[in-house]
Structure 1
């Protein structure tokens, strides 16, 4: 008995899940940022640079944050540019033993999720994914192994960049840890990156974080170059 197998092509839309290095302490804001290539990092620009200890506390003993940060990149990229997200920094409270799972940051894996806020530049929440213009760009795992080392600005340069063709001027990101989490909001001058509820998109507050990357402007297409050359030739002929 002959059996005929028919192969079917299935289109699967997936987003990258990337692995990254381990958080390091001692982040420095500004020109000396360890997120920049000039200082051994991976990015050419820090889109928002406000990771600073101080201020109030943000704690999630179960490691499940209910909010994230909306980073404004309007001064760094335009629609159609390739944005490579290369690293970030957070003010983390890790001043207790690894076994302390209350009001502390435990060692574990931080899984960061990055989203485009869409053409309306508004975070509508994960509950609206599929009906809003927001979209998941990908996830990145980062190891935290600095429990009981103090309160500090911790940074990481990702092993692989998360690339995105910009369709928004805003990136929303959040994370979950496999252990407890305690962050600092930063002083008022740095607690300026807006926070929104991850699920509903409701405004929450603001705090200080840093996010870095590289922006690549697309090369003009051959057709556009050809059209430009024709216009230049016509302009010269009219002058003769």
Structure 2
């Protein structure tokens, strides 16, 4: 009976010893592929969820901004239908909106009047006669054009800080004002610190503008709107 070749036996035994390692390596490879596959699926699921939430947030912001725009368009309609909107009429309009309930993101609704330098003294005197003896256009200084806030509602608390403020004196506000004026549409300012904010718990905000043109004058082109 022939005996097995010792060299063949040794090779066979060596091969047998490699089998567990090969199985282990194969198992690790399969585990790694499954892990990578799960990782990819998880990442895709997270990306999909993130995109969904971004779309939801974007839609919510868009709806809210459209609501804010309608508030301004209503105010613009008030001025378009009247020769002169009195302070109490503007107050009644804003009060009817119930900002706190229906537009909680709005700090206040205001109206700024365009004032030329030669009309500044007359303007200040007229507002003071309404019962505001300390009224002044702020900040002080000579400028080519002034746009002081003369109506601001609710006319209380922090909103009083905006009364008389010349928005043309500040670059971010001025840029948005000019864009709204020239385009004849709403314009939103860049991020800024609202006048209503105090030194504690300061939050960034923005202002939405809508131009109100003088009744009876053409405003079809940017030149006419100016």
Say which structure is richer in helix: 2
Larger relative CO (CA 8 A, sep 6+): 1 or 2?
Answer: 1
Say which structure is richer in strand: 1
TMscore range, shorter length: under 0.3
In terms of Rg, which structure is larger?
2
TM norm structure 2: 0.25
TM norm structure 1: 0.24
